[in-house]
Amino acid sequence: MALRRGSNSPHSGGTVPDSHRVPFPLAWVCGGEPIIGRVQASRALTVWLPVVAWAGLIFGLSSIPDLSTAEGALGEVLSYGAHAVEYAIFGALLVRALDARVVAFAAGVAYGITDEIHQSFVPGRQSSALDLLVDAVGLLVGITLLERARR
């Protein structure tokens, strides 16, 4: 049986057209480009960079000594409102990155716990279980709003 030259079949000695090639997972080792890895890295960057940046903002705000918005009841309302809004945004970013509501909520609550512990070391600040509860409510609101927006 003779092989025909010029055919595109790999079984006949020809070449495989680029549209039929499957990227080799370790192509970068041989000098090629890791096509799949580049796409996954790009997606990871676009979904995780906002999460890390927002967590950094929360950490930065928690590091400000004696941070208060106003005195009395108005100050309490503004403080809890700020907690709820910052964690609602955090919850939406987490569920966008993780694509799992329960895991996003658990990760947000875990971060909230570490944030409250961190605040206990900042002069003029203290940790509060009520703040953590407001953070959790904010997480639920953000996660729910994003899920409804996706429908």
Percent of the chain with pLDDT over 70: 72
Check residue 25 and give its pLDDT.
Answer: 52
Claim: this prediction has a pTM higher than 0.85: no
Tokens representing 101 are 């509501």
- For residue 61, which amino acid is it? L
pLDDT, greater one: 21 or 85 = 85
Domain ranges for the chain, please list them: 35-150
pLDDT digit string, tens, across residues 43-52: 788 999 999 9
Check residue 18 and give its pLDDT.
Answer: 57
pLDDT, greater one: 144 or 39 = 144
What are 119-127's contacts with CB under 8 Å, separation 24+? Answer: 119/62, 122/62, 122/63, 122/64, 122/65, 123/65, 123/66, 124/65, 124/66, 124/67, 125/62, 125/65, 125/66, 125/67
Smallest Cα–Cα separation from 130: which of 91, 77, 90, 93?
77
Residue with tokens 């002069």: 123
Q: Given a cut of 50, is residue 7 above it in pLDDT?
A: no
Residue with tokens 């549209």: 19
For residue 135, CA distances in Å to 37, 38, 41, 53 come to: 35, 35, 30, 18
The overall average pLDDT reported for the chain is 82
Q: How large is the average pLDDT for residues 91-114?
A: 96
Q: How large is the average pLDDT for residues 133-149?
A: 96
Band of residue 73 on the pLDDT scale cut at 50, 70, 90: confident
